[in-house]
Structure 1
Amino acid sequence: MLLERENAVQDFLELVSNTANSGKVLLVSGEAGIGKTSLLEHMRQHPQINNTMLWSGCDPLFTPQPYAPFQDIASSLSNPLVNLLAKNQNPSKISHKIASTLFSSLEQLNEPIILIIEDVHWADNATLDLLKFLVRRISFVKCLLCLTYRDDEVLLSHPLSTVLSLCPSAHTKRIQLQPLSLNAIEILSAHERKQPWPRNVADKVHSSTSDLYRPSDLLKITAGNPFFLSEILANNTFDSNTIPSSIRDAIGARLSHLKQPEQDLMLTLSLIPYSIPVRLIEHLFPKNGETLAMACIARKLLQFDTQGEFRFRHELARLATLACLSITEQKRLHLKILNSLERLKLTANLAWLSHHAEGGHNASKILKYAPLSAEKAANLGAHKEAASYYEKALKYVEYADTQLAASLYENWAYEVSLTTHMNTPVIEARRCAITLWRALNRLDKIGENLRSLSRLYWYQGQAERAEHYANEAISTFEQLPASTELAMAYSMRSQLDMLNERTSDAVFWGEKALALEQTFPNPLVKVHALTNIGSALLMSGNAEGELMLKNSLLLSEQHGMHEETARVYTNYSDYCVRFKRLSLAEELTTKGIQYDTSHDLDSWTYYLVGIQAQLRLEQGRLVDAQTIAQGVQKLTNQTVLMKLPALIVLARTHIRMGLADAESILQKALSQATAIGEWQYIIPLRLAYIEYAYLTHNSALATEHIAPLVKLQSSILNPWQFGELLVWQSRFGLSQIATETSRSDIPLPWVLELKKDNELAFNAWSDLGMPFNAAMALLHGHTQNTVASFVNAYSLLQSMQAKAVLRYIRKQAQQAGFIDQLPKRQRGPYSKSRQHPLGLTAKEQQIFKLLATGASNQDIAKTVSRSQRTIENHVSSILSKLSVESRIEAILRVQNEPWLLR
């Protein structure tokens, strides 16, 4: 009986009718027992719904099976999806393949479908990642995706909260179910006793209703929870003095009235949080198992699920029943169930076996099944679940032989490191693995773990230790016959040298890796080494590296190496920004962000977005640079390293805009960069400090940051950085500090500034598309008309909102006596003159906002009162400027870069 859910039913019906045009997400939330499943059961029987309904859910296993709810429904969607979920695949590709295959299966549907996944607060991380992929694209499939969850369990730190935040507001409906009112309880109570509840003035029990609980008492005790109510009302024995105070009490009272065999069945099944096959019940209770189960269904204690298997009516009922068992009994019954699963050969679902082995505290069984479960999870790309299984096995590592123990430490560390947890326990696990492998004299394994330690220390910002372990790995592998592993160790060392601006060393080790790859062909080694060498050469000003990066990009895309492709886009874009090839940087950052977004590579996405912010800074688009950089800083799921490029940009924009927090952001960024220890971050920040010192007339601060740069080998600074350093020294009158000023590769704009040819420098910077630098050039040097130069610079800087430099100019003009000739200060916001970060016109921005909601061209045309052909032209232009091929990719970019919607 469904009460007080009329609005929810209407919302559901409306969503179903709208799904024919575009997919929708329905989020049904509420406390345990509030009636989420009852609502969906009601909708399944509703006469107005004729759509196919696929129903699945998540189970509260100790560690859930990867993609568990999709395992149940895959056969109803497509055979390719079934095959992907069933077979071992390349872990680097499988998760994205599963996501794209699921989406393709939904995309090909002719009729709308309803996909229900219950209890997603218990979902495994692989399922949550798949849901993230799907909800971002939901408007492009004919699917109503209905997710139910307990909102009181999903706090901000819960993994599900990320999925919920990604649900597009224009295509998402949220239903939060509320407890039943007193009126509803009266109706429910009357329905149970087959006659209306009498309305008394006084709150007394009428003689004809003495066998019922008072509705007011029920409301007070249950707080209107429908499941709790149903359990109390289902109790055959009434005692007004012992109203159950909890669901556990209500269930316990009902269990006490069962026959002993039925009680034994319920207690045993309470340890099984998944759908229970009839075969398993019959093996556990060989004489009359199915008969007992059917009797419990008749008593409304068990039910059939959507697969036709047995299950408790509600998880609350299972937990309340489980609470009646002692810990000792739970362990015994877990092992009994595990034995039945093994004897029946119901071993395909390793998560079940691991669950009962853990519940039974059986070391040998855990060491047998947990690693197998972990391996299967890893092969499905479910690395968090794999790590969890290995962690369970490690609790019993003292019972494992040396080789198994070493493998457990090694594999756990590997799986955890893939989820970005580069912390001390992971490092210690690698150390333990190395110790155990040394006992077995396995040099190959020792070398692999040493190389992994190098990577871990690099992520922690400990460059010296990273290099130490990289060298140790190479030394270890060189004691063995040449191999792919040795080639990868060489390439790892090449990467470390490249990141620390040691070009010759990076090329040396990269070429050694490529030479080995010729003997032991491996696309990953080739791509990794080419990226390292190409990046090192380009960053040192050697154009030969560009062809290497292009070849690496081609190879990585051909072999589906998503992260390596992202790395090439990132490094190539970074080079273009550093060396002021801004047109190519525009193309690469846009394509790279689009690629990262379409493959859900969030960490790479936002690092590259930080480089895009740097590009906007170089283009003089300070507000756009600030907007993008602030957007990245607000993210909560990114590492310091991935957000640092954007933080550097934020510091420089706030310096130029004259904002009060500029220095504090500078300090924070330099502190992070120093901890990481890479010059690619430290040098730009010291140059930023020098600029800040210049605009605040603080020569001592300038000297403090010029001195460390001067002491560096000149090759560590790229030509543009070296030229900028020399110009700052000149502006502060410190031109003799530099130990080397004879470099022949200093870019022309800086050479012209050093020669004080400010008008020619202005033209050179303007030709590069860098108006801020052009304006700064006008403020220094020899000129016949200083006033005109200052006025021109002032006008340029006003349009950029570079208020700190405007104050500097006004002060200089005041001292020189021509302040009255400067343009008048602009008042109010500059938003109308701001350029869109991707160059969209005002009309395109209006249409883009509508497009982002999933509106069709026809809908947009009606909204803005334009012809559909005109809208098609605008949409085509928008897609081109976003460098995407479809509307779905445009929407994905908006979801990753919300600042694009002005």
Structure 2
Amino acid sequence: MLVERESAIAQFSLCVDKLTNTSGHIALISGEAGIGKTTFLEQAKQLFGSYATFYWSGCDPLLTPRPFGPVHDIAAELSTPLLAMLEKGASTSSIYSAFYQALESSSEPNILIFEDVHWADHATLDLFKFLARRIAFVKCMLVISYRDDEVGETHPFRTVLDVLPSSHTSRISIAPLTVEGIAQLAQNSQHDSATLLKVTAGNPFYITELLAVNNTDINHIPASVKEAITFRLKQLPHGERTFLETICLVPNAISPSLLQALCGVDGETNATACAARNLLTVDDAGSYRFRHELARLGTITSLTVSQQKRLHQRIVEALELSQGVDALALLIHHSSAALDAQRVLKYAPVAAKDAAKNGAHREAAAYLNTALYFVSSASTELAAQLYEQWAYEAGLTMHIDDQVIAARQQAITLWRTLGRLEKVGENMRYLSRLHWYRGEATEAENLANESIKIIESVPITSGRIMAYSFRAQLDMLNDRMQAAIDWGNRALLLEAQFPNHEIRIHALNNLGSAKVLRGDETGEALLYESLSLAIEHGFHEHAARVYTNFSDYCIRYKKLDLAETLIAAGIAFDTSFDLDSWTFYLIGMQAQLRVEQGRLEDAQTISQGVLALDKLTLLMKLPALSALAKAQLRLGTIDVSQRISQVLENAYATDELQYIIPARFCAIEAAWLQDEPNVALTHLTWLSQLDACYLDHWRAGELIVWIKRFGFDLKSKFSCDLPAPYQLELCGKYLDAAEVWMSLGIPYHSALSLMQVQQPQAQEALPRAYQILDAIGAKAGLTKVREKAKGYELVEYLPSVRRGPYRRTRQHPAGLTAKEQEVLRYLSTGSSNKEIASALSRSQRTVENHVASILTKLNVSNRMEAMLRIQNEPWLSLRDSPKQDTF
């Protein structure tokens, strides 16, 4: 009997209406264990089964959940290609695409139920994120049930909840029963409803179990469900009770083959009898499972530890006999519980390899961690493999703590014992990378050098080539460009003899980046080649790295048009492949580009959007934070000094000059605007003492010009040819420098050059500087111009001070017009062109033109990609930036 679920059913009905009338939808079904989520969904299937095709799956409480576990439940019904990809261990992105294509190609609406997602593996959670971002484009309702009391702030499922589109998501909470609802359930018993409510807190499972006991004596009402289940078990025939105690340790459905192997000829008989008593359920495939998870857990508590261990061993042997497909996760789960070291060591590495192949690196690490509990029973070689493999998988998915470092070190020790020097060198390279991620530059350097020394003592392998390429990357990141070029060339020379696509892509990126960041434009061709190969061979993260490095170079070297093209293409690429860690870093660089272009409020809008996102690392936020500090400095925002201090602190936390140098230049500019020469002197002195190899000619020019502007007597080590605008300013040709800056599309620096002009040309230059700064809203600079004009008694020549906020250079970060922004807001909800035309009272042709323009400006090819951009960058759908306090 379904009691007091009318409201929830009505909510579910609205979700079905949205599915059948418009586009896809997500329904979150939440509630505590035993509250009746499964019963509710079964009723929903009965009510709405004629409107849509239902697909039912669930997650299991395994020690380590199987990657894409619930997807396997429905793959055969949903899509033959998807099933084939799962069975052959295809890449994660391929599985995502196959799943989405199956939904997209369906002409009828589908309802996909995923139960108990609080137990889901990380690959499935990532699939939910992928589907959530695209749900508006398929006739599918994604129904996710979970225990809300088990999903805390750090639970992995939270990462899914954070990205669900609000316009396509409904939340249905299954509430406890009231005393009236309990009375309906207990109407044929002698139980008191108020007492039941007090004992059970309205939990239907507790109530059902207590009613099944059929004992109305208040003194004999079990104090807990454990006692209720134990009492009920004792009332069963011996065969059925023994059967339930045998299968209760299996945390998921028991297939017919496993049932036969585990329980013999009596298994089916006892299973049928227990199903008739509503203790078990049976699905269409003939698999049995406990009707309530709490009943299964309660049954386990009736067993002693030694009984459980013996039963786990029986289950392992039965699993091997049944030859069930994809039983690795279960085999490891039960072998571990049975303390069967040899079986764990046999199965866990295989499962980890399969999981990693699917992109489920957290599960891979978990399998290997289970194996490491039994590492004392492993051979030396296997132990070394387990330590290095766990360190790799854990390093991808968790904080790189001392335990990860220690595992690599242990692997090195064991490989050295075996005399496997090529493995020693390989593990030292990985260890170097780990220390670099932790900001331990000296240790990373030493290990990288030692890795190469060792690996050069053995015959050439791909490991030696990658060691050279990694050495190039390490030097490039630390602004040792010539060394990076040398190592990159060595790597490519060897790769030509031993071809390897990934190594070539990696080396080309490092070599090309090192070249262009020292002004050698031949490196651009290498970056283009690296990008092309990465895309062709499906190395998505390598492609994202090229977009990032190439864009950084273009901004540094003032190639703003090329930067605009690359950043737009890179953001679209990263978004389409859900590369969030790269996406928001690159969006932060887009904000830096807007600062250079004088689009200060656009830069502020974009930066604030990135910084408002949850769970981004310091490194992912740093480009946006740097852009925001510089934009707000120029806009004249209150308390910008605190923001600049934060940028400096975070830059130093990375221990990389690529972040520290621009942070110091920002502080120098702030000191100039705020008349704090002593602060500037500290930073300029530090920069002047750097070796010449650490500053490209643009940064060297910026340093020398700032020294001159402050009038400091600092000697410079930099003798390279400086860029034209800096060279002209140093020669006193301020007006010419200003013109060059304007030709580069950098108005703010043009104004700074004009502000250096002295009499008699100041009468012409200062009003021009004022007009430029006024046009871009750089209020702090206007104050500085007025001070200069006052000193020359030229204030009367400046334009009148305007009242009210400054006019914005752009109305939207992506350059959308006001009408396009209106269309975008409707497009972001999944509305069709016809619906948008009706809502805005425009012709459909007009809306089509606006949509085409929006897609072009967002650098996307279709509406779905536009929606992905909006979901990643919610500020794109906001017409106005938040107002800021200014001086």
- TM-score range, shorter-chain basis? over 0.9
The equivalent residue for 1:264 is 242
Is 1:601 the counterpart of 2:572? The answer is: no
How far apart are the structure 2 equivalents of 1:824 and 1:176?
Answer: 61
* CA deviation string 1:265-323 (max 9, x = no partner): 22222211110123333433335222222221222211113543111111111112112
The 5 Å alignment of 1:439-454 reads: 439-454=417-432
The two structures have a TM-score, normalised by structure 2, of: 0.96
How far apart are the structure 2 equivalents of 1:626 and 1:514?
Answer: 41
SS in 2 for 1:427: helix
Query: 1:616 offset after TM fit, Å?
Result: 0.8
Kept in 1: contact 2:777–2:807 (CA 8 A): no
Kept in 1: contact 2:432–2:443 (CA 8 A): yes
The 5 Å alignment of 1:142-221 reads: 142-190=139-187, 193=188, 212-221=190-199
Given candidates 745, 752, 764, the residue that maps to 2:740 is 764
The equivalent residue for 2:296 is 318
The equivalent residue for 1:74 is 75
Query: 1:418 offset after TM fit, Å?
Result: 2.0
SS in 1 for 2:81: helix
TM superposition outliers: structure 1 runs of 4+ over 6 Å: none
Provide closer, same or farther for how the CA distance between residues 863 and 50 of structure 1 changes in structure 2, counting only shifts above 3 A: closer
SS in 2 for 1:780: coil
How far apart are the structure 2 equivalents of 1:815 and 1:264?
Answer: 98
- Amino acid in structure 2 at the alignment position of 1:19: L
Kept in 2: contact 1:501–1:679 (CA 8 A): yes
The equivalent residue for 2:875 is 899
The equivalent residue for 2:862 is 886
Deviates more, 1:884-893 or 1:824-833: 824-833
Query: 1:807 offset after TM fit, Å?
Result: 3.0
- Amino acid in structure 2 at the alignment position of 1:159: P
The equivalent residue for 1:99 is 96
Kept in 1: contact 2:554–2:560 (CA 8 A): yes
- Amino acid in structure 1 at the alignment position of 2:11: D
How far apart are the structure 1 equivalents of 2:245 and 2:61?
Answer: 17
Deviates more, 1:19-28 or 1:812-821: 812-821
Given candidates 546, 553, 556, the residue that maps to 1:578 is 556
How far apart are the structure 1 equivalents of 2:267 and 2:796?
Answer: 98
Query: 1:738 offset after TM fit, Å?
Result: 3.1
Query: 1:261 offset after TM fit, Å?
Result: 2.3
How far apart are the structure 2 equivalents of 1:851 and 1:331?
Answer: 57
Kept in 2: contact 1:24–1:139 (CA 8 A): yes
Kept in 1: contact 2:601–2:808 (CA 8 A): no
Is 1:732 the counterpart of 2:729? The answer is: no
Kept in 2: contact 1:798–1:826 (CA 8 A): no
SS in 1 for 2:716: coil
Provide closer, same or farther for how the CA distance between residues 264 and 186 of structure 1 changes in structure 2, counting only shifts above 3 A: same
SS in 1 for 2:519: coil
Alignment RMSD (CA, Å)? 1.9
Provide closer, same or farther for how the CA distance between residues 694 and 566 of structure 1 changes in structure 2, counting only shifts above 3 A: same
Query: 1:377 offset after TM fit, Å?
Result: 1.0
Is 1:868 the counterpart of 2:869? The answer is: no
Gapped runs of 5+ residues in structure 1?
Answer: 194-210
How far apart are the structure 1 equivalents of 2:261 and 2:222?
Answer: 34
Query: 1:73 offset after TM fit, Å?
Result: 0.8
Query: 1:711 offset after TM fit, Å?
Result: 1.6
How far apart are the structure 1 equivalents of 2:92 and 2:265?
Answer: 44
The equivalent residue for 1:60 is 61
Kept in 2: contact 1:13–1:49 (CA 8 A): no
How far apart are the structure 2 equivalents of 1:439 and 1:620?
Answer: 61
How far apart are the structure 2 equivalents of 1:741 and 1:372?
Answer: 56
- Amino acid in structure 2 at the alignment position of 1:114: I
The equivalent residue for 2:4 is 4
The equivalent residue for 1:461 is 439
Given candidates 203, 207, 218, the residue that maps to 1:229 is 207
* CA deviation string 1:128-180 (max 9, x = no partner): 01111011101111111111111111122111111112111111111111111
- Amino acid in structure 2 at the alignment position of 1:125: H
How far apart are the structure 2 equivalents of 1:153 and 1:762?
Answer: 61
Kept in 2: contact 1:462–1:675 (CA 8 A): no
How far apart are the structure 1 equivalents of 2:300 and 2:553?
Answer: 61
The equivalent residue for 1:635 is 613
How far apart are the structure 1 equivalents of 2:273 and 2:219?
Answer: 29
Given candidates 617, 622, 626, the residue that maps to 2:604 is 626
How far apart are the structure 1 equivalents of 2:802 and 2:827?
Answer: 34
How many residue pairs get aligned? The number is: 877
The 5 Å alignment of 1:104-503 reads: 104-190=101-187, 193=188, 212-286=190-264, 288-305=266-283, 307-346=285-324, 348-419=326-397, 421-503=399-481
Kept in 1: contact 2:319–2:327 (CA 8 A): no
Kept in 1: contact 2:112–2:143 (CA 8 A): yes
How far apart are the structure 1 equivalents of 2:638 and 2:475?
Answer: 37
- Amino acid in structure 1 at the alignment position of 2:824: F
The equivalent residue for 1:520 is 498
- Amino acid in structure 2 at the alignment position of 1:82: L
Is 1:679 the counterpart of 2:680? The answer is: no
SS in 2 for 1:418: helix
Kept in 2: contact 1:585–1:615 (CA 8 A): yes
Query: 1:783 offset after TM fit, Å?
Result: 5.0
The equivalent residue for 2:44 is 43
SS in 2 for 1:54: strand
Query: 1:489 offset after TM fit, Å?
Result: 0.7
How far apart are the structure 2 equivalents of 1:292 and 1:76?
Answer: 29
How far apart are the structure 1 equivalents of 2:809 and 2:335?
Answer: 66
How far apart are the structure 1 equivalents of 2:714 and 2:464?
Answer: 44
Query: 1:732 offset after TM fit, Å?
Result: 0.5
The equivalent residue for 1:648 is 626
SS in 1 for 2:186: helix
Deviates more, 1:540-549 or 1:20-29: 20-29
The two structures have a TM-score, normalised by structure 1, of: 0.94
How far apart are the structure 2 equivalents of 1:821 and 1:10?
Answer: 71
- Amino acid in structure 2 at the alignment position of 1:132: K
Kept in 2: contact 1:483–1:516 (CA 8 A): no
- Amino acid in structure 2 at the alignment position of 1:173: S
Query: 1:831 offset after TM fit, Å?
Result: 7.8
The equivalent residue for 1:204 is none
How far apart are the structure 1 equivalents of 2:516 and 2:816?
Answer: 32
- Amino acid in structure 2 at the alignment position of 1:739: S
* CA deviation string 1:754-784 (max 9, x = no partner): 2333322222211111121122222112353
The equivalent residue for 2:882 is none
How far apart are the structure 1 equivalents of 2:153 and 2:837?
Answer: 39
Query: 1:458 offset after TM fit, Å?
Result: 1.4
SS in 2 for 1:275: coil
Query: 1:820 offset after TM fit, Å?
Result: 5.8
Is 1:557 the counterpart of 2:540? The answer is: no
Gapped runs of 5+ residues in structure 2?
Answer: 879-887
Is 1:838 the counterpart of 2:839? The answer is: no
Provide closer, same or farther for how the CA distance between residues 416 and 558 of structure 1 changes in structure 2, counting only shifts above 3 A: same
How far apart are the structure 2 equivalents of 1:403 and 1:779?
Answer: 69
How far apart are the structure 2 equivalents of 1:154 and 1:314?
Answer: 19
Provide closer, same or farther for how the CA distance between residues 726 and 566 of structure 1 changes in structure 2, counting only shifts above 3 A: same
How far apart are the structure 2 equivalents of 1:831 and 1:79?
Answer: 58
Provide closer, same or farther for how the CA distance between residues 48 and 384 of structure 1 changes in structure 2, counting only shifts above 3 A: closer
Query: 1:40 offset after TM fit, Å?
Result: 1.1
How far apart are the structure 2 equivalents of 1:715 and 1:282?
Answer: 72
How far apart are the structure 2 equivalents of 1:533 and 1:810?
Answer: 47
SS in 1 for 2:219: coil
Query: 1:617 offset after TM fit, Å?
Result: 0.9
- Amino acid in structure 1 at the alignment position of 2:875: W
SS in 2 for 1:46: helix
Provide closer, same or farther for how the CA distance between residues 667 and 345 of structure 1 changes in structure 2, counting only shifts above 3 A: same
The equivalent residue for 1:86 is 87
Query: 1:607 offset after TM fit, Å?
Result: 1.5
Query: 1:527 offset after TM fit, Å?
Result: 1.1
